[in-house]
Structure 1
Amino acid sequence: MASRSSAFRASAIRSSPRRTFRQIIRVARLRRQQKPRGAARATLYKSCCKRTAGAAKLSAADPSTEVEMKEWARPSAMAAASAVLIFLSLPPAGLWWLAPLALAPWYLALRRVALRRGAGAAVLGGALVSYLGGFLTLALSCYWLGMVSVAGLLMAAFIGGLYYAAWGAATVSLLRWARGPAWLGAASLWCLTEYLRSRLGWLAFPWALLPHALYERPALVQAASLWGVWGYSWLLSAVPFALVDAALHLRLRRRLRAALAPAAPIAAVAFVLVFGALSTDVGDAGPIVTLGLVQGNVPQEAKEEAIAEARSYTTHGRSKVERVMDEHLALSERLLAGGPVDLLIWPETMVPGSMMQQPERFRRMVEFVERRRTPVLLGSERHCDGRFYNSAYLIGADGRVLETYDKMTLVPVGEYIPAQRVLALLALITSKLMPYETLDLSPGSRLTIFEVSGFRFYAPICFELSFDDQVREAARAGAQVIVNISNDA
């Protein structure tokens, strides 16, 4: 039996995707014959040995570890392929039409893993393969974190991959033991995974969710008013999973099951299309508001140096803070030379350090606003009672600070080191890997709705725009527009 087992593993190594598909079908057919489990497996091994005799012989000198590594190569490659497809479906590539197909290779990989002899090995394999897929998905889709901190990027991918590992283990368990439509359970588990990744305390990271690929397709996202992003998370996973199952049923000559498997997802897609076509009327336009956007394209390193300088109140030669401000003031003058605007918007922390604790720099901003009679929304730090906040300031046309907003959802590692007491060693290592000094910021406690000339808006700062519940709360509080100021400037 040992030689047959080796031959079977060798056949799996050398099999093409078509042969992988045939193996899955063969196992299903054997189970239908209601033979004892061991007999069914023995039959499968014997047939595989006959089919691969002469081409799949392994010498006794071949190490088993090499065989095991090769056996996992194809499922791992399939999961990695799905990670690439997810990345391509999201911005900046924006190939949104890949989203409904992106998970098909990953799901097929888990179906292959579920065929392993040992239940424990299969479940563990599903977890490892899916961890790889999840890690690569976040590492590719969150590449921008690397511009701020490579340590932050690796930590986000490392932690995020754990959610997908749990999904892979649960899905393999479902494929081995559960009755009923496998695609339905797998899609529900995927939806739960994305929900938990977006909600679990400081581990929450709702970035690169699969439904985000549809953000530029208004007709396709109208149904979000009924079931939110999570309905789309389920639908975009149910479609490829059901299609894979339908193909398997078709090869097994189960024509009725092949037709029924994708029926529910296809019906849901049809509903989304019809609902979107009937819901895209935006009604009458309100008053027109002109916004002026200023983005200085300041390198992240230069900005961090300016912030460090402002915090230490030291200057060597010409102030780095002054350089950042000079560039944005000059760009603002050029913009306003083309005509007046109702609100001028600068990016996040574009007055490095705390603007209110730098009288000369605050005076420059006030003089500019009063001379131009134009309100300005800008980012700067706020220091209060020994705490530091990443804040947005609204300066009115008369030079007064009308309102401030302190960022409520901070970036783990980038703006604070999470779980310092619980994971002290990890926090220390992470802080040492940061390219600049990390100052623990405090989260804000109040959601602010700004208002200029009857125009009401909410200004989430960078990362927190991805938290849909926070943005929804602002809309309920009366915000007419979402103005996101970001550090990508």
Structure 2
Amino acid sequence: MRTATRPPRLTRRGRPPLRRLLPDLGLGLVAALGLAPFGLWAATPLAMGLLLWRLARAHPSAVFWHGLAAGFGWFALALSWIVEPFLVDIARHGWMSPFALILMALGGALFWAVPAWAAARLARGWRQRAVAIAAALILSDWLRGWIFTGFPWAQIGHVWIDTPIGQTAAVTGALGLGVVTLTMAALPCLFWRPAQRAPLLPGTLLALLLLGGLWAEGLSRLAQPLPSDRDLTLRVVQPNAAQHLKWDPEWSAVFFRRLLDLSAEPGPRDLVIWPETAVNFLLEDAGPVLPAMSQAAGAPLIMGIQRREGSRFYNSLATVGPGGELGQIYDKFHLVPFGEYIPWGDALARIGITAFAAQQGNGYSAGPGPGTLSLPGIPDLQPLICYEAIFPQHLRALDQRPGWLLQATNDAWFGAFSGPYQHLAQARLRAIETGLPLVRAANTGVSAIIDAHGRIRASLPLNEAGRIDAPLPGALPPTVWSRLGNAPVLALLVLILAASLAPRRRRRT
């Protein structure tokens, strides 16, 4: 006679009725409240714990649908900013916004539904099923950062960025933060005992102990002093060019004058930084105004600008030295699909299909890859243009470690609710992972100086024009993550998954 240790099934075989999927949808929505701008981090492990409980008790053939509903809720709230680019020109593109959100949420939900279904089909016991699904979801988060050019936005571990537990990323990266989240979620399931009066108590206590230990460790790391600030002052200029006016000829002249005026304001500065696509003209046409830009800056200048080579256009950063002398150029290489380029774009352009956000040509061409910019008297920096800052793998692609990171971005595309704050949070995570300070120049905000612990030293709020004058924070030694990357966490996940999928010996009494 077998012992009865398995709870009753939540659902039967096949696709459940809609009413049984609504709780999963709600749990996905609640879990997403841990992300910026809400920051309700406790909601995520609690909701994910209930979700794992439901998935582990569901029939394996129904797990796909439960995972799809929960993933749709998570991504619908987390990526709600995706409608904003279509509202810039609402008369032409507004009708696309609901379809964009639904399709993005469904696409993201598949990265929950498919691995959850596969893990549920292969695991033998319901506890093993809960663990296998948790490990599969984290591996899916990693895969989402690579497949189809990658989109590692709204990962499960991102809920910890603004807490001391976020400091764990210096060792484990963002993937390890996901392990923290789903470990806390899975522990009550793993230690569930039906015969006990409080069957969830042991696992819950272990989850709280894990939370307290990691929180204390993060506070300890934050209490450690950083190296001294560099003896140089950066001026970050935020022109606040509204996206619907940014390329208008009259308004673009206003924004250009604003850039010059803010750059020329009194105060010491050793480097002036303008955001992505700060000006409406091409680099090839900038010659007559480069001396005026250099004079206004009163120091070396890094500016976002578009440029052309033959029939190709690039989204670039260019350095300008004394007298308007043009220096090094960096071309963005990780482009936004359908926003900055269209797959098979040369062929599709013949029938009028072009990139949504690119302002020149049919779309941008990709640069050669990660690199550095060097200016006299300034530590070498690794530039990241907008979207590139969400990909941690690019920060380990250089042979020589830079002294700091620079993100030039135009977050006006993301609206003013969640997108800019999620983008800022991911930039802070890059600083924690690498132990390098990060300077953020954003067109409409949030511009910020971020130290090597991911803390914001100085910032400008959304939708305000202004400047930041602040020293460059010091850099920490290379972190464990910057040396090893995600390999240790991936190996651990594979081992956990293999153990949870191993055949279980039947117990008899």
**TM-score, structure 1 as length reference:** 0.70
Aligned to 1:24: none
For 1:341-392, what per-residue CA distance to the aligned partner results, in whole angstroms no more than 9, with x for missing partners? 2222222112225222x2xx44224313135422222212121243221111
Aligned to 1:163: 111
What are the ranges of 5 or more consecutive residues in structure 1 without an aligned counterpart? 1-29, 46-64, 115-121, 307-319
Instruction: Provide the residue aligned with 1:470 in structure 2.
Output: 394
Moved over 4 A (4+): 151-155, 254-268, 427-438
User: 1:367 is matched with which residue?
Assistant: 292
Question: What's the CA shift for 1:444?
Answer: 1.2
Please give the alpha-carbon distance, in whole angstroms, between the structure 1 residues aligned to 2:189 and 2:179: 16
Gaps of 5+ in 2: 87-96, 412-443, 445-509
Secondary structure in structure 2 of the residue aligned to 1:408: coil
**Which amino acid counterpart does residue 270 of structure 2 have in structure 1?**
D
1:414 to 291, 315, 339: 339
Structure-1 residue corresponding to 2:384 = 460
Give 1:91's aligned amino acid.
A
* More helix per residue: 1
Amino acid at match of 1:160: G
The structure-2 alpha-carbon separation of the partners of 1:396 and 1:96, relative to structure 1 and needing over 3 Å to count, comes to farther
For 2:38 and 2:269, how far apart are their aligned partners in 1? Answer: 32
* 8 Å CA contact 2:72, 2:109 repeated in 1: yes
Partners of 2:132 and 2:41 in 1: CA distance: 24
The correspondence of residues 122-271 of structure 1 with structure 2, limited to 5 A, is 122-123=60-61, 125-149=62-86, 150=97, 153-173=101-121, 177-178=124-125, 181-202=128-149, 204-217=150-163, 219-246=164-191, 249-250=192-193, 252-254=194-196, 261=203, 265=207, 268-271=210-213
Alpha-carbon offset, residue 468 of structure 1: 0.5
Match in the other structure for 1:441: 364
* Aligned counterparts of 1:188 and 1:321: Cα–Cα separation in 2: 52
Given candidates 43, 46, 56, the residue that maps to 1:98 is 43
Give, in whole Å, the separation in 1 of the partners of 2:336 and 2:121: 34
- 1:313-328 to structure 2, matched below 5 A, reads 320-321=248-249, 323-328=251-256
AA matched with 1:439:
N
CA distance in 2, matches of 1:230, 1:200: 16
**Structure 1 residues 441 and 340: alpha-carbon distance in aligned structure 2, compared to 1, 3 A threshold:** same
Structure 2 match to 1:62:
none
Indicate conservation of the 8 Å contact 1:135/1:158, yes or no: yes
Report the Cα distance in structure 2 between the residues aligned to 1:162 and 1:464, rounded to whole angstroms. Answer: 24
- SS of 1:273's partner is helix
The secondary structure found in structure 1 opposite 2:322 is: coil
1:446 Cα shift? 3.4
SS of residue paired to 1:279: helix
The equivalent residue for 1:351 is 279
Structure 1 counterpart of 2:406: 483
Partner of 2:104: helix, strand, or coil?
helix
2: CA distance between counterparts of 1:73 and 1:187? 24
| CA distance in 2 between partners of 1:346 and 1:293 (Å) | 6
Give the number of the structure whose alpha-carbon radius of gyration is greater: 1
CA RMSD of aligned residues (A): 3.7
| 1:381 aligns with one of 306, 309, 321 | 306
Structure 1 Cα separation of the partners of residues 277 and 4 of structure 2: 68
Helix, strand or coil for the counterpart of 2:394? helix
The SS at the match of 2:308 is: strand
Structure with bigger strand share is 2
Give the whole-Å Cα distance in 1 for the aligned partners of 2:203 and 2:122: 16
CA contact (8 A) 1:147 1:300 kept: no
Residues in 2 aligned to 1:131 and 1:253: alpha-carbon distance in whole angstroms = 32
8 Å Cα contact 1:457-1:481 kept in structure 2 = yes
Q: Distance in 1 between matches of 2:184 and 2:125?
A: 20
Specify the alignment match of 1:297 in structure 2: 240
Give the secondary structure class of the aligned counterpart of 2:171: helix
- Give deviations 1:276-304, integer Å, cap 9, x for gaps: 2443314331324332232233232333x
Tell whether 2:53 aligns with 1:108.
yes
> How far off is 1:400 after superposition?
1.5
Aligned to 2:506: none
Contact 1:377–1:395 at 8 Å: present in 2 too?
Answer: yes
If the length of structure 2 is used for normalisation, what is the TM-score?
Answer: 0.67
CA contact (8 A) 2:314 2:366 kept: yes
| Count of residues in Structure 1 that have an aligned counterpart in Structure 2 | 395
Task: Please state how far the C-alpha of 1:462 moved relative to its aligned partner.
Answer: 0.8
- Change over 3 Å in CA distance of 1:206–1:255 after alignment to 2: same
Contact kept? 1:349, 1:380, Cα under 8 Å: yes
- Residues 1:329 and 1:82: Cα distance change in structure 2 (over 3 Å): farther
Q: Deviations over 1:189-220 (max 9, x none)?
A: 11111111112242x10001122222222x32
2:340–2:355 Cα contact (<8 Å) kept:
no
Q: 1:436, CA displacement in angstroms?
A: 8.4
Given that 2:144 and 2:151 are in contact with CA atoms closer than 8 Å, whether structure 1 keeps it comes out as yes
Amino acid in the other structure paired with 1:279: R
Between the aligned residues of both structures, percent identity stands at: 24
What amino acid does structure 1 have at the position aligned with 2:237?
Answer: V
Structure 2 counterpart SS, 1:301: coil
- Please tell me whether residue 283 in structure 1 is matched to residue 226 in structure 2: yes
Q: CA deviation at 1:432?
A: 8.2
